[in-house]
Structure 1
Amino acid sequence: MSEAPFLAAPQPTRLPIRARARRRSRSRMSFLIGPLATPVSVFVVTLILIVAHQGKLLEVTFMPMAVAVSYWLYRRYPVHYVSMVCWLIFLTPEVRRFADFYNGVFNQTSIIMMTPFFAASLAGLSILNKYRYLGQRRALPLIMMLIAIVYGYVLGVAQFGIMAATYGLINWLQPIFIAWHLIVTWREYPTYRRVLTKTYVYGAIVMGAYGIYQYVAPPPWIAFWMAQSGMESSSGSAVPFGMRICSTMNSTGPFALTMMVALLMLVSAPGKAKFFAGIVGLPSLMFTLVRTSWGGLVIGLVYPLAMLDSKSRLRLIMVGVCVVGLCAPAVMIDQVAAPLLKRLQTIQDIQNDSSFQARSGFYTNFSEIASRSFAGHGIGSTGIGAKLAADPSQVLSVVDSGVVDVVWVLGWPGTLLYIGGVLMLLWRAFVASLLRSDDRFAVSGVGASIAILAIMVMVDTLQGSSGMLFMIGTVIPVIGLRYVRHMQRLNALSGAARAGRPS
């Protein structure tokens, strides 16, 4: 009996008309309700409300709409959920400014600002859904940090009340939630690399271009917000070339750090969009006049440059030179150059700089602070949560040092656990990127994390949005290595199965 009928490949059959119609209908629905179209619709609706000057309606609808879409993405598209959280961090403060401007009243406690807060907290469901991962060795750094945070929370509730401690707790937990979400969805690493790279590139373009516009011609809603919030004392006046820009974010510091990370992640970005991102991103970072982020950008570039091969390193240097060269004509304008040169001169005369003196005072008195904080004061004793404290006399609402902040809040027992977990995460990311030095996305993530940690001496960068960016940079190389090893094992098993199959 001939074997030809059994060996011949099956011939494709033409689908019936109704089946083809159903397939076209499903493809249209997947386009209309998909990981890209649905989040974009949130911002389209927001833009329509802004154009229609519906500030009150915008204030009421933005948070429920954005959080609902974030939850849907979390359940259906975990990678795009992380991207959505990033975009909410980038753009939510600007939405709040529009709402306040068209309402005609500055809202000190705008509910819009809670949107990234709630959207990022959804990642905490991953711990409940994947609690079995807690027993694995890869979860050890996060468990150490969690124990330290719970310790600080108990202290905070006892001393400052449940409101202040709980608000601060979520701010401390959000980076761990995002890190855990990345760990349990490690099989999506190729999609993470593609989607997050685009998020950083286009985020840098949007925030950078808007920041330059804000610097050259401050719009009226920025002037209204600066006057009503009291930001003029620290960010200058809302006149052309007269302010330290914050672009779409809430203040210059968070924007400068976010733009620093975005520029560092451009190292791994393919295509031509990264050039435009660099051209608008670098000047906007300079116009913030935040020296710590300037230094962080330089520190963060050292690691990718060291890891790249000679050809790629030369190409990166040439790209950097081209971007700087294209930005150079703007610096020749007197109104632009004057504040930049004045800020650069303070680096040379650092001893007479008031900001440096304020921060160095923390470290001069660090031994006294450390002795007063051996057991810790608890979460809710610093930051925004301190404003909700039952006993305001015991809080430090402003701490210009991330290291002092951690020691003050967690005490030495909690600090050793927390910093130990952070350093373990960074070490694992470093080792993973060394083993896969050809993965530029992973290498750039480690560089960005090193830069964020370096700024820790000036401000606490491990909480909130900056902490989430740190976790993305440290966890991505680890899950990338795990994904590659998993695929190598599958390929080896598949090759062995084909080799053992009878001909």
Structure 2
Amino acid sequence: MAMSPPPTRRAPGAPRAAPRSLQRRAGARVRAMRKTVLVPIGLFVLSIVLIAVHLARPVEFLFPLGSLVIGYWLYRKSPPHYVGFVCWLFFLSPWLRRLADFVNGSFNDKSMIMMAPLLAVALCGLSLITGANTLGQRRNAPLILIVVGLMYGFIVGVAQTGFGPAVYTLVNWLFPPLVAFYLNVTWQHYPDYQRVLLRTAVYGGLVMGVYGVIQYVVVPPWDLFWLIAVKITSFGKPVPYGLRVWSTMNSPGPFAVTIMYLLQISLASREFMRIPMMLSAASALLFTSVRSCWGGLVIGLVYPVAMLDGRSRLKLLCAVVGVAALCSPVMMFDQVSDGVLKRMQTMSDISNDNSFQSRQMLYEAWLSAAFSNISGDGLGSTGLGTKLSSDPTKAASPAGTIDSGILEVPTVLGWPGSLLYVGGILMLMWRAFLASIVRSKDRLAICGAGVSLAIFAMMAFTNTLVGVTGMFYFIGVMLPVIGLRHARRTAHAAKKAAARTPAPAAPAAAMARTARSQGQRAPLHGGATPLYKVRL
């Protein structure tokens, strides 16, 4: 009969094996994290498969409902993955809608698929209930000012434009600060926010950048079908090398701001995939022909270059120069260089720039009216919300086409709402800059402050603080703040833990005497693990 081997003994000084309970917990946590990634991917894959087998009609109801259910599950289980899921919904929902319309053979101007990101992001409003005890705290004061200003504009909008237009516009103005409030109340997940948002930026930018380049060169049939159906001439000609790229989103403007945000945030990543992402995303940004985002990218890069230390600054400059050098061969093709260079030349020749001249006329016509309108026109008087107005004169009002965020805010919110709204925005930016100065080695925080500055600077051309572009602004401006709070609380907890731990003076002396008697060296720190090896 074979005898079982004797149990092995742990060598002196060897680390102890982790208890089985801790191993089981670690395994369960890994499996839970996998689910938070695989379940959203499964929703997108299932929707694409159903569309491919000509079951696009059910997708128009299945996809929004699935997005709401998965969003609520992630909202309760993992806040960082919830925010990442919302970002992916804004990235891919317009493309999924175009694919469904193409398979159905008819353009649906009220597709329910476009409701999926709004339903998922609306769950952030629950944080006002769960985090109600933090509403009176000083760190939430800027967001409270913004919300109060929007509520004023909503009341005026209901009175002047109707309930439907006011509600629709309120949703687009309100959900970006709600996302910021959700980040503020879940600050303890900041390390996970770093990991999830950086991966979202890298892989989201890679998908959208590659698709944008393909769209510019080939023009997929579903994009061509949608462009002909909506009859928008500002997107360029529906032929290869003649489009202004909008990739998987709905318009070149929001896509350009999104890809600019992803490019700047990905500078804080250390993954290898960030290199092909930057190449494809930078090329797609050029093909959008959105000059304000070209300038915004430069503004957003200036801040990290000024704030980072010498070594990080050198790495950033090398990355920017390398990406520009690798993208330069694209400009050797005449089909590409003709459109891009022509668009760049208008930036130096302002006298022949029709866009600049029309915007100058807009400022001259609206400047006096915007600042003399004390009460404001209310939410619903501008943007897509005007299409929901029951009054045809208001639906066709020129106020619905204000192409400047600087003019749109006082026109909509009036003086009372604008003072509250703009005051909250400036307070958020001031806090973000101060936090990024303190956290000078946190690359994500510095890049977040830089991209928020770039998006805010683009308010001279369009209102970038609402909708999906506003969500990226508020994410960027909140990252330095919650990063600083997490670092301070972690350091404070470590100090308290170190103060509560008694120093083993007697055992250390006994161990030192035993070691001297055996001719050995005494261990440092009384045999305890050095402080610099402790993971906080």
TM-score range, shorter chain: over 0.9
Distance in 1 of aligned mates of 2:28 and 2:487? 32
Shift of 1:392: 4.0
Partner of 2:103: 102
- Residue in structure 2 matched with residue 158 of structure 1 by the alignment: 159
1:98-137 pair list within 5 angstroms? 98-137=99-138
Matches within 5 A, 1:276-425: 276-394=276-394, 395=397, 396-425=399-428
Deviations 1:63-122 (A, max 9, x none): 111121111101111110000000011111000000110011101111111111111111
- How far the C-alpha of 1:123 sits from its partner, in A, is 0.5
Change in 2 beyond 3 A, CA 1:495/1:400: same
CA distance in structure 2 between the partners assigned to 1:154 and 1:24 by the alignment: 51
Cα distance in 1 for residues equivalent to 2:254 and 2:28: 42
- Residue type of the alignment partner of 1:30: A
Given candidates 427, 430, 436, the residue that maps to 2:439 is 436
Partner of 1:485: 488
Give distance in 2, aligned partners of 1:166 and 1:128: 20
Shift of the 153–279 alpha-carbon distance from structure 1 to 2, 3 Å rule, reads same
- Name the amino acid aligned to 2:333: I
Which runs of at least 4 in structure 1 moved beyond 3 Å after TM superposition? Answer: 8-16, 22-32, 499-503
Secondary structure of residue in 1 paired with 2:376: coil
CA distance in 2, matches of 1:95, 1:183: 32
Residue 4 (structure 1) aligns with: none
What is the deviation of 1:391? 2.6
**Do the aligned partners of residues 148 and 437 (structure 1) sit closer, same or farther apart at CA in structure 2, a change above 3 Å counting?**
same
TM-score, scaled to structure 2: 0.88
Q: Which amino acid aligns with 1:87?
A: W
Matched residue SS, 2:501: helix
Q: Secondary structure at the match of 1:135?
A: coil
Distance 2:312 2:20 in 1: 49
Q: Is the counterpart of residue 255 in structure 1 residue 255 in structure 2?
A: yes
Post-superposition offset of 1:239: 1.5
Is residue 210–residue 248 contact of structure 1 (8 Å, CA) maintained in 2?
yes
Check conservation: 2:297, 2:454, Cα contact below 8 A: yes
Aligned to 1:236: 236
Q: 1:358·1:400 contact (CA, 8 Å) conserved in 2?
A: no
User: Which residue of the partner structure matches residue 469 of structure 1?
Assistant: 472
For the pair 1:450 / 2:453, whether they are aligned, the reply is yes
Q: Which amino acid aligns with 2:413?
A: L
- The verdict on how the C-alpha distance between 1:29 and 1:451 changes in structure 2, with shifts beyond 3 A counting, is closer
Q: Radius of gyration: which is bigger?
A: 2
CA distance in 2, matches of 1:24, 1:300: 39
* Cα shift at 1:48: 1.2
Could you tell me how far 1:223 is from its partner in structure 2?
Answer: 0.6
CA distance in 2, matches of 1:392, 1:419: 31
- The alpha-carbon deviation at position 351 of structure 1 amounts to 2.5
Shift of 1:229: 0.5
Alignment match, 1:269: 269
The alpha-carbon distance between structure 1 residues 327 and 365, as it changes in their structure 2 partners (threshold 3 A), is same
Shift of 1:380: 0.4
In structure 1, what is the equivalent of residue 62 of structure 2? 61
Partners of 2:371 and 2:410 within 8 A in 1:
no
Q: Is the 8 A contact 1:55 1:101 kept in 2?
A: no
| Structure 2 Cα separation of the partners of residues 459 and 258 of structure 1 | 14
Superposition deviation, residue 476 in structure 1: 0.9
1:148 aligned partner, one-letter code = G
Unaligned ranges ≥5, structure 2: 1-12, 507-536
AA in 1 matched with 2:453 = I
User: Structure 1 residue 23: deviation in Å?
Assistant: 8.3
Once residues 121 and 485 of structure 2 are traced to their aligned partners in structure 1, the CA distance between those partners, rounded to angstroms, is 24
Quickly say closer, same or farther: Cα 1:208–1:9, change in 2 above 3 A.
closer
1:360-400 Cα distance to aligned partner (Å, 9 max, x none): 22322344222452111100000111111233424422110
Check whether the contact 2:208–2:247 (CA below 8 A) recurs between aligned residues. Answer: yes
Q: Structure 1 369/488 Cα, relative in aligned 2: closer, same or farther at 3 Å?
A: same
1:14–1:285 distance in 2 versus 1, CA, 3 Å: closer
Equivalent AA in structure 2 for residue 268 of structure 1: A
**Cα deviation per residue 1:430-462 (whole Å; 9 max; x = unaligned)?**
000000110000000000000000000110011
CA contact (8 A) 1:189 1:480 kept: yes
SS at match of 1:105: coil
Do structure 1's residue 30 and structure 2's residue 32 form an aligned pair? yes
CA contact (8 A) 1:163 1:388 kept: yes
Provide the identity percentage.
Answer: 46
What's the counterpart of residue 208 of structure 2?
A: 207
User: Which 5+ residue runs of structure 1 have no aligned equivalent?
Assistant: 1-7
- Cα 1:13–1:241 change in 2 (3 A) is closer
- From the superposition, tell whether residues 375 and 501 of structure 1 become closer, same or farther in structure 2 (CA, over 3 Å): farther
After TM superposition, give the deviation of residue 28 of structure 1 in Å: 9.1
Residue 352 of structure 1 deviates from its aligned partner by 2.3
